[in-house]
Amino acid sequence: MPASKPLVIVTRKLPDAIETRMRELFDTRLNLDDKPMSQAELIEAVQRCDVLVPTITDRIDSKVLVRAGEKLKLIANFGAGVDNIDVKTALERGISVTNTPGVLTEDTADMTMALILAVPRRLVEGVKELEADHFKGWSPSWMLGNRIWGKRLGIVGMGRIGQAVARRAKAFGLQIHYHNRKPVHPSIEQELEATYWESLDQMLVRMDIVSINCPHTPATYHLLSARRLKMMKQGAYIVNTSRGEVIDENAMVRMLAAGELSGAGLDVFENEPSVNPKLLKLKNVTVLPHMGSATLEGRLDMGEKVIVNIKTFADGHKPPDRVIPAML
């Protein structure tokens, strides 16, 4: 890195406090109108800067990285997931990659729990009924949903967020089950009274609600395939606040429309920002615009992590949130 302030290019609008601090510490170029950069603009950026600060919607793939200039030595991702970055190619070219883990755990878990409550109890449907002036007074048989107390929740991916979801769900009386690459520490299992399933197939057939909390990697693409979706109970619900690519979305839509699944709560989609129009027409689906981590506190925490990673790297030290292949 140069002795002078490193040239940092930020691809999207960040909170004012973060942008101000970045301008103080670095030679920072901001994206004030928040317009997503095209691939050509990203290539121009990596040819000029010492540090690139992309977000999860910026595709920093091999086509971009092979055009990077010799100055680029750090990609400080504004986000915990790094499936938007070709990390392998970056490391091969001597470019370090960092992310912002941990700071979004509680926010995402809150939103997951909100969907776990909202979908079986038909909260969004109820709002729409009021807005359409269909409410004519209480009725013992109108807008009936399903109780979640005592139901089985299967968590796919028992990392930080999965465990935070489990703690919330346990307080609501759900029985906690999970599938992970390996079991969590016995003390965590005991705390959560959680049951581990080495076989995802065996877990899915028994669950009333399935929550997707694993990252998107080549190994988890369409982890919930059409075959696995068909294994689930007809009365089951799916909640996804992770990445849309983990589920075969077209297969899920067909099953939801046919009543082969009871409902879904989705904060992410397979082809973002495009949303399957069929999903928007289904009454048994609650959709949100990828806002699981959208809290002011979370965004500020993310920005502070980005700053620490850049400053540490610029000072000649290893940044605390380096992404290494073993993590993927």
Q: What is the pLDDT of residue 327?
A: 52
Quote the Cα angle for 216-222-227, to 5°. 155
Token match 């029985």: residue? 175
Contacts of 4 (CB under 8 A, 6+ apart): 27
For residue 173, give Cα distances in angstroms to 71, 106, 119, 179, 211.
Answer: 54, 19, 16, 19, 16
| Token reading at 78 | 């504004």
Instruction: Give the confidence band of 325 by pLDDT, cuts at 50, 70, 90.
Output: confident
- Is residue 287 over pLDDT 80? yes
Q: Is the pTM of this model over 0.95?
A: no
Q: Is 213:112 a contact under the CB 8 Å cutoff?
A: yes
d(CA 76, CA 11): 11
Q: Are strands 237-240 and 209-212 parallel, antiparallel or unpaired?
A: parallel
Instruction: List the domain boundaries for the chain.
Output: 7-103+295-327, 105-287
b/e string for 40-60 if b means 16 or more Cβ within 10 A? eebbebbeebbbbbbbbebeb
Instruction: Give the confidence band of 2 by pLDDT, cuts at 50, 70, 90.
Output: very low
For residue 200, give Cα distances in angstroms to 157, 287, 304.
Answer: 10, 25, 37
Q: What is the pLDDT of residue 3?
A: 58
Q: Which residues are catalytic?
A: 243, 272, 290
What superfamily would CATH give domain 7-103+295-327?
NAD(P)-binding Rossmann-like Domain (3.40.50.720)
Q: Do domains 7-103+295-327 and 105-287 have the same CATH topology?
A: yes
d(CA 263, CA 209): 9
Q: Could you tell me the fold of the domain covering 105-287?
A: Rossmann fold (3.40.50)
| Token reading at 195 | 């049951």
Chain segment 161-199, per-residue pLDDT in tens: 999 999 999 999 999 999 999 999 999 999 999 999 999
| Token reading at 114 | 């909100």
Helix (H) or strand (E) holding 128: helix 123-131
Q: Is 39:61 a contact under the CB 8 Å cutoff?
A: no
Chain segment 249-281, per-residue pLDDT in tens: 999 999 999 999 999 999 999 999 999 999 999
Instruction: Give the confidence band of 302 by pLDDT, cuts at 50, 70, 90.
Output: very high
d(CA 112, CA 174): 14
d(CA 45, CA 39): 10
Mean pLDDT for 104-132 is 97
Q: Is 22:10 a contact under the CB 8 Å cutoff?
A: yes
Looking at beta carbons, which pairs linking 146-150 to residues 24 or more positions away fall under 8 Å? 146/120, 146/121, 146/235, 146/262, 147/120, 148/116, 148/117, 148/120, 148/121, 148/172, 148/173, 148/174, 148/209, 149/173, 149/174, 150/174, 150/175
Nearest of 164, 122, 166 to residue 147 by alpha carbon: 122
